Structure 1
Amino acid sequence: MDHEQAFELLPGYIDQELSLSESLEFERHLAGCKQCQQAYEQQRSVSAQLRQADLRVEAPAELVERIKAALPGRRSLWERLVDRFAGGASGRSLGWAPVGTMAFSVIALMWSAGLYLSVPSGETRLTHELVDDHIRSLQFNHLSDVISTDRHTVKPWFDGKLDFAPPVVDLAQQGYPLVGGRLDYVNGRTVAVMVYRYKLHPINLYVWPGNDAGAPPPGIYEQQGYHLAHWSTAGMNYWAITDAGEAELNGFITNLLAHPAS
């Protein structure tokens, strides 16, 4: 996490609006950054002062009335429904019986739409789950269950632990050495994770069976300061995540897809 990202998260951290993973990432950056520590103390002090009661000013009643009078008039939905069914200016009335049913239907529709829009998509939930898992693997030093740079050691380690055989390739000559593997639980199932490195940056490659019919090519995007990519090929789902740059992750994916064993 750089300074710009930290400054963007700072107000949300002070107001306790960040997710657990965002808070942990921010605190990790804050612990080693004097500049961000100073900005944090300044904003926390300002926030505390703004919450003091003596800083609040009650608007005069006359001012409130003038503002209300200047606002354009707009009848509420309920008032318009009443006018519609009571006859309104036309003098024709549809009767009061349907009003309650209609109002209830409108409220139910708005409530249902709100619930639908507030639920994140499956892809979004999975992305957050993978980012959280990646962060945990770094914090608790649990990158690998089997530590080896030899694919002939890592691949057999998965035998009997999964209901599929994950492809394991060696990309050391391309600058992305294999350093181990582990089991993890993602998207409601046990998955294989191959761990690579680019210089000092770990790359977690999550693999599990999937349908690659019509699958788009991998696209790289950023989430909480990490770069991710998702693609499917040869009947497998792949997710790669790292704190390395976009170009470095793209190079990893390009070499991985070009390898005969992938």
Structure 2
Amino acid sequence: MNEKPQITEHLNSYTLNAFIDGELSPAERQGAEQHLTTCHACTLRVLSATQLKAATARAGHRFAPPPEALRRLAAQLRSQSQLQTNPLTQTNPQPQTKTPARLYSIRPAAWAALAAAILLTISLLSWRQLHQTNTLAAELLDQHLATLSSAATPQVISSDRHTVKPWFQGRLPFSFNLPDTAVLPSDTILKGADLTYLNGQPAALLLFTIHKHEVSIFLIQRSTNSTLSTLSSTRAGFTIHTATTPDLRIVAVSDVNPADLDNLLAVLVQIQKPA
């Protein structure tokens, strides 16, 4: 029998980054791809590095001022410069004081510095507001990617809600309902469940498939983390959508069609309502 040799050495950082950036030769790329088919650890490293590169690229453009704002700022600076260099053009000329001519020459630069400081302040405030949300979204995505690993085994493997729901009793400070199989959207299957944590708070992780796409559903007490309500987004090709009930926050993560993801969320929200 001709068996393929097992690759035991992991990809080094140079090879991993060159693989992601498409900088390897065809032979090197083929070797890396062959390694990734058998090495779970390196596959996760590639996923993590790819996400980091994408997030870094997005962050570099996230707080760029819109062109309209830059044009208005440039027009204001030009107008201010003209008024300072030719005071006679002012509609209400003020009494002239003896001011060093050098002061007029540096004022446009001072205005530019002030504008830059204002933009920086706005960016920092926006970053503070988004930082917690982005961190939690990254945590959710990492947990979902971990479920895609062939080595990942949920603590409960069952499509029976009467098996999955009771398993969480005593493990969570809250309870939730699961829909019957007949109520689930078309081609949606419950695979199992796990106990997990989000920002240090216990959460239920429900594992579904929709059209063979893996779906992670996180349920957490509504009072424990208000950031979850602002998470809806798309990250690295994965959709993160949220829904709420009076007691729960429900977050869905998957690469399935967002409309299909919302259909599952709607069923889970509906089943939490008292009969």
Shorter-chain TM-score range? 0.5 to 0.7
Counterpart contact for 1:191–1:208, Cα < 8 Å:
yes
Query: Which residue does the alignment assign to 1:66?
Result: none
1:134 equivalenced with 2:144 (yes/no): yes
Mark the runs of 5 or more structure 2 residues left unpaired by the alignment: 1-16, 24-42, 51-76, 78-95, 101-113
Counterpart contact for 2:219–2:248, Cα < 8 Å:
yes
Alignment CA distance shift 1:179-1:225 (3 Å): same
Query: Which residue does the alignment assign to 1:78?
Result: none
Query: Which residue does the alignment assign to 1:99?
Result: none
One-letter code of the match for 2:192?
G
Query: Which residue does the alignment assign to 1:195?
Result: 207
Mark the runs of 5 or more structure 1 residues left unpaired by the alignment: 1-9, 28-73, 75-88, 94-105
1:188 Cα shift?
2.4
1:91 Cα shift?
3.1
Corresponding residue SS for 1:121 = helix
Query: Which residue does the alignment assign to 1:257?
Result: 269
Given candidates 245, 248, 256, the residue that maps to 2:260 is 248
One-letter code of the match for 1:122?
Q
- Identity among equivalent positions (%) equals 23
TM-score scaled by structure 1? 0.53
Given candidates 127, 144, 161, the residue that maps to 2:154 is 144
Counterpart contact for 1:210–1:232, Cα < 8 Å:
yes
1:27-42 equivalence runs, <5 A: none
Could you tell me how far apart the structure 2 residues matched to 1:15 and 1:160 are? 49
Deviations 1:183-235 (A, max 9, x none): 112122121111111131121110011149x9999996422111221121031
1:92 Cα shift?
5.8
Could you tell me how far apart the structure 2 residues matched to 1:121 and 1:26 are? 19
Counterpart contact for 1:164–1:209, Cα < 8 Å:
yes
1:243 Cα shift?
1.6
One-letter code of the match for 1:91?
K
Query: Which residue does the alignment assign to 1:163?
Result: 173
TM-score scaled by structure 2? 0.51
One-letter code of the match for 1:127?
A
Could you tell me how far apart the structure 2 residues matched to 1:235 and 1:21 are? 34
Counterpart contact for 1:209–1:235, Cα < 8 Å:
yes
Query: Which residue does the alignment assign to 2:65?
Result: none
